[in-house]
Amino acid sequence: MRAAMTRIRFNGAAVAAASVAMAVVLTACGGDDGSEKPESKPQSPSSESSNKGSEASSSVEDDENQVLTSIKGKDGVEAVVSSVQREAGGFVTVKGTVKNGSQQIWTAPGWQGMEQEVAGNGASMAGASLVDQSGKKRYLVLRDTDGRCLCTKFEGLPPGGEAPFFAQFPAPPAETTEVDFQIPTMPTATIKISG
């Protein structure tokens, strides 16, 4: 009987303590009607996180300045590939820059490909593909459920202008380290996959 009473007192004390804790939490969370904004104090990032940030930004800049291959098309248009990265999600991202060396505004004619499914992408990289010669397989640009490519869509690029591009493809098998990068109207280039 005494043990049962002790258990009841202990359980009652635990319930009371939990109630007090819940009340404190609710008080801390509530009570603000949004009329006053708390002062935000800028927090100085730790040296470790700022170092990671600078490493990441320098890595991005390095990728953009790299030239893995340069593909020269007609009328002075050039596609410079700077990065071909195998991503954790099972895809490959190709990045680079398009340079318009022509004397007119460039609108990526033909680059969207001939397929009906990608016709709505307009001036884009939608027609690009990767070809795994050893596996005898072609990988088309990934698309969402509405047929929009996971790639750059271009606006008119003036003469002498440059624009970054990217295109994402399903990843070939891990043992495939080189693929042919094909953009409609441009010569084929062999590129090495990193990552």
Confirm whether 62 is domain-assigned. yes
* Number of domain units in the chain: 1
- Name the least confident of 16-20, 21-25, 111-115, 147-151: 21-25
Which pLDDT value is given to residue 25? 36
Find, among 149, 93, 154, the residue nearest to 126 by Cα. Answer: 149
Distance CA 113, CA 117 (A): 9
Residue 39 lies in a domain: no
pTM: 0.66
Q: Is residue 79 part of a domain?
A: yes
Residue type, 51: N
The reported pLDDT for the residue numbered 147 is 84
Residue 136 lies in a domain: yes
**Residue 33, domain member (yes or no):** no
C-alpha separations of 181 from 3, 75, 126, 136, 171 in Å: 78, 20, 13, 14, 13
Nearest 5°: phi and psi at 84? Answer: -135, 100
pLDDT confidence of residue 63? 61
**170: phi then psi, degrees, rounded to nearest 5:** -60, 145
170 - beta bridge partners?
91
Closest CA to 181 of 109, 114, 92, 117: 92
Give pLDDT, residue 64. Answer: 63
Does residue 116 lie in a domain region?
yes
Q: What is the CATH number of the domain that holds 78?
A: 2.60.40
Tokens 């072609």, located at residue: 138
Is 183 within the bounds of a domain? yes
Question: Would you say residue 173 lies in a domain?
Answer: yes
What are the pLDDT digits (tens) for 77-125? 999 999 999 999 999 999 999 999 999 999 999 898 877 776 678 889 9
User: Residues with Cβ < 8 Å from 94, sequence gap 6 or more?
Assistant: 81, 83, 84, 128, 130, 166, 167, 168, 169, 181, 191
Residue 90, domain extent: 58-192
Query: Is the pLDDT score of 1 beyond 70?
Result: no
Residue with more model confidence, 62 or 152:
152
Distance CA 83, CA 63 (A): 6
Virtual torsion, Cα 142, 145, 147, 150, nearest 10 deg: -30
